[in-house]
A = this chain, B = another copy of it.
């Protein structure tokens, strides 16, 4: 069973509860929208042009000077001196133009220097690895590229994101959730086209055998040329930019031709490269002990939904539209994984399939969101190298609508006769022969394709029995003629037969989490201004731990208060840790700021305590009885920190501030 699937650059937004929607918009805008780079600096082309002109002026003058010097009989010294001076001035001009171009190139992207952006990323990644948000897998065995472990805080963030995803999509939209295996028999992935086409183009270093993704090499070559080669002509620069833009649309032949044209070699050794060949990205394996049933680890979770379509449609009362969702692991044997969590070999996918009637795509809740504005990135803008732009949802739908039917479907003006395969297993005979396994034999018989069934019919008629492999039993059974009736029946069809259209939003959870990490990270100076402190400004919804409890000094009475508070936090369902290490309160704040804990309770008396907010470092004083309910209010999002600041006295004792 195959469906045409539309991959949207955006995701479907449901109206849901206003608060939740707000959360989601904040979450998405922070993790996705803000990451889309604005267009390249408009002046780059003119600067290249200016540099090229200055450079040819230099060349022309140098040529003139050489001619002057070589003049038979010799030129006047004054004339030569003047030409040298002119050449010097032109070189200064060209140097200045080169510096202006260099500056423009290194300011590319979002306006911050690319090198400082790289340094920022390195700081984020170092913090993430040091605090065990995630770490390369199997490090003690030297590791494997593209596989990562989530440590305790990373695990907590992931589990919060998934819980919120399930709440927002599955529960609030009444989606049908399924959970299917990762191990998938070949037949399923042959039908979906993955066995034949889920490939990337690969080249090998002809001497060392190291493998590279062909499009990565071409892209890296173009980017490096554009960034570092100031002598590129504006035309050549435009060509390289165009190559980057259309990279995903190049055919294998075009890609191979470009690699040859640009003389690209293996980046590490400069050895020549092999020809291109396709490499299937699925991890292959074998199911069962016989070695005869090939299988793969699923490269996406959607197939599990598609193969269950009939059952899910029935579960939904045979009505459209409905949506099914699945959260689970997917596997892609990437040629060269890179960029941390952004391109890995195993990852958690959360996928939705909205099944809709191709002739009636209306949704009862669309009116609630039609006027909302979102940042969108339509295909035409992507291909034209333009940037994302805000669009009103209702207008976008009226526009993105093509007028061309997306799928084949049939309507019969009057009932018409069709031939249909009818397989009727005899449950009585099969029950006698196979007892407890009867059900699986029945299901296997019913699942035969038309070709298989007709073959069986012929064999049973000529020989009376036939060997038949039942996969669910893992063995071959003997089917007798009396056990099954197979026929082609004529039948009148009134109903319209149609293939549902599918809208498929797909969420790579690791990518979302990584964007969240990078977007939430900042540094600030310690109070003594002697070091940079790291902070993750996670919203409470996704923070790995909501709250810490610090007894100010080591004394039994403060420890007792801390335990009472911990108990009330547990009762309120707020995750927390008590830190009773003797270290200074400033150090303890810094330590939990670095894993993004939004609130800290410091116990400095036996009647009331302070609550400190991570980003503003503001503190309020709250009685011990109230502390859990105040923290719950701000972590659940019922109140903002600003709201509770008004209700309680602020606290500014020096001893609880950063040291």
Q: Tell me the complex Cα distance, A234–B135, Å.
A: 61
A185 contacts chain B at the CB level, 8 A cutoff:
yes
Instruction: Digitize A331-347: 1 where CB-to-B-CB distance is under 8 Å, 0 elsewhere.
Output: 10101110000000110
Given contacts A187-B141, A209-B290, A289-B211, contact A329 B182 (CB under 8 A): yes
What distance in Å separates the Cβ of A308 from its nearest Cβ neighbour in chain B?
Answer: 6
What distance in Å separates the Cβ of A112 from its nearest Cβ neighbour in chain B?
Answer: 18
A524 contacts chain B at the CB level, 8 A cutoff:
no
Q: Tell me the complex Cα distance, A311–B571, Å.
A: 31
Interface contact B145-A471, CB-CB below 8 Å: yes
A156 contacts chain B at the CB level, 8 A cutoff:
yes
Interface contact B335-A289, CB-CB below 8 Å: yes
Given contacts A315-B152, A475-B268, contact A140 B1 (CB under 8 A): yes
Instruction: Digitize A572-600: 1 where CB-to-B-CB distance is under 8 Å, 0 elsewhere.
Output: 00010100010000000000000000000
A286 contacts chain B at the CB level, 8 A cutoff:
yes
Counting contact residues on chain A (CB < 8 A from B), the size range is 35 or more
From the candidates B289, B308, B333, B472, name the one contacting A333 in the complex (CB within 8 A): B289
Interface residues of A in 300-356 (CB under 8 A from B): 304, 307-308, 310-312, 315, 317, 329, 331, 333, 335-337, 345-346
Residues of B within 8 A of A182 (CB): 182, 297, 329, 331, 346
Q: Tell me the complex Cα distance, A570–B167, Å.
A: 10
Give the residue name and chain of the B residue nearest to A163 (CB).
B163
Residues of B within 8 A of A143 (CB): 440, 443-444, 447, 471-472
Residues of B within 8 A of A307 (CB): 137-141
Residues of B within 8 A of A336 (CB): 474
Interface contact B185-A144, CB-CB below 8 Å: yes
Q: Tell me the complex Cα distance, A571–B317, Å.
A: 27
Residues of B within 8 A of A570 (CB): 17, 172
A151 contacts chain B at the CB level, 8 A cutoff:
yes
Interface contact B471-A144, CB-CB below 8 Å: yes
A77 contacts chain B at the CB level, 8 A cutoff:
no
Q: Tell me the complex Cα distance, A155–B179, Å.
A: 6
Stretch at the interface among A99-107, A277-285, A641-649: A277-285
A181 contacts chain B at the CB level, 8 A cutoff:
yes
Residues of B within 8 A of A141 (CB): 185, 187-188, 191, 307, 447
A142 contacts chain B at the CB level, 8 A cutoff:
yes
A556 contacts chain B at the CB level, 8 A cutoff:
no
Interface contact B152-A178, CB-CB below 8 Å: yes
Q: Tell me the complex Cα distance, A311–B139, Å.
A: 10
A422 contacts chain B at the CB level, 8 A cutoff:
no
Instruction: Digitize A152-194: 1 where CB-to-B-CB distance is under 8 Å, 0 elsewhere.
Output: 1011101100010010000110101111111111011001000
What distance in Å separates the Cβ of A277 from its nearest Cβ neighbour in chain B?
Answer: 10
What distance in Å separates the Cβ of A311 from its nearest Cβ neighbour in chain B?
Answer: 6
Q: Tell me the complex Cα distance, A147–B312, Å.
A: 18
Give the residue name and chain of the B residue nearest to A20 (CB).
B570
What distance in Å separates the Cβ of A434 from its nearest Cβ neighbour in chain B?
Answer: 10
Residues of B within 8 A of A135 (CB): 308, 311
Interface contact B145-A268, CB-CB below 8 Å: no
Interface contact B181-A137, CB-CB below 8 Å: yes
Residues of B within 8 A of A74 (CB): none
From the candidates B156, B179, B288, B312, name the one contacting A154 in the complex (CB within 8 A): B179
Q: Tell me the complex Cα distance, A315–B575, Å.
A: 18
A476 contacts chain B at the CB level, 8 A cutoff:
yes
A9 contacts chain B at the CB level, 8 A cutoff:
no
Residues of B within 8 A of A145 (CB): 288, 471-474
Instruction: Digitize A1-17: 1 where CB-to-B-CB distance is under 8 Å, 0 elsewhere.
Output: 10000000000000001
Give the residue name and chain of the B residue nearest to A476 (CB).
B208
Interface contact B210-A476, CB-CB below 8 Å: yes
From the candidates B171, B180, B477, name the one contacting A268 in the complex (CB within 8 A): B477
Q: Tell me the complex Cα distance, A151–B176, Å.
A: 8
What distance in Å separates the Cβ of A253 from its nearest Cβ neighbour in chain B?
Answer: 21
Residues of B within 8 A of A154 (CB): 179
What distance in Å separates the Cβ of A460 from its nearest Cβ neighbour in chain B?
Answer: 18
Given contacts A180-B149, A577-B174, contact A290 B211 (CB under 8 A): yes
A276 contacts chain B at the CB level, 8 A cutoff:
no
A637 contacts chain B at the CB level, 8 A cutoff:
no
Taking A144-B288, A158-B179, A181-B346 as known contacts, 10 extra A-B pairs with beta carbons closer than 8 A to each other, sorted by chain A number, are A136-B440, A137-B181, A140-B310, A142-B472, A143-B443, A152-B176, A156-B177, A182-B182, A182-B297, A285-B297
Q: Which residues of A contact B (CB under 8 A)?
A: 1, 17, 118, 132, 135-145, 147-152, 154-156, 158-159, 163, 166, 171-172, 174, 176-185, 187-188, 191, 202, 208-211, 268, 279, 283-290, 293, 295, 297, 304, 307-308, 310-312, 315, 317, 329, 331, 333, 335-337, 345-346, 436, 440, 443-444, 447-448, 470-477, 570-571, 575, 577, 581
Q: List 17 A-B residue pairs with CB atoms under 8 Å apart, sorted by A's residue number.
A: A132-B315, A136-B440, A136-B443, A136-B472, A138-B188, A142-B472, A144-B185, A145-B471, A147-B183, A149-B178, A151-B308, A156-B177, A182-B331, A183-B346, A208-B476, A268-B477, A288-B335
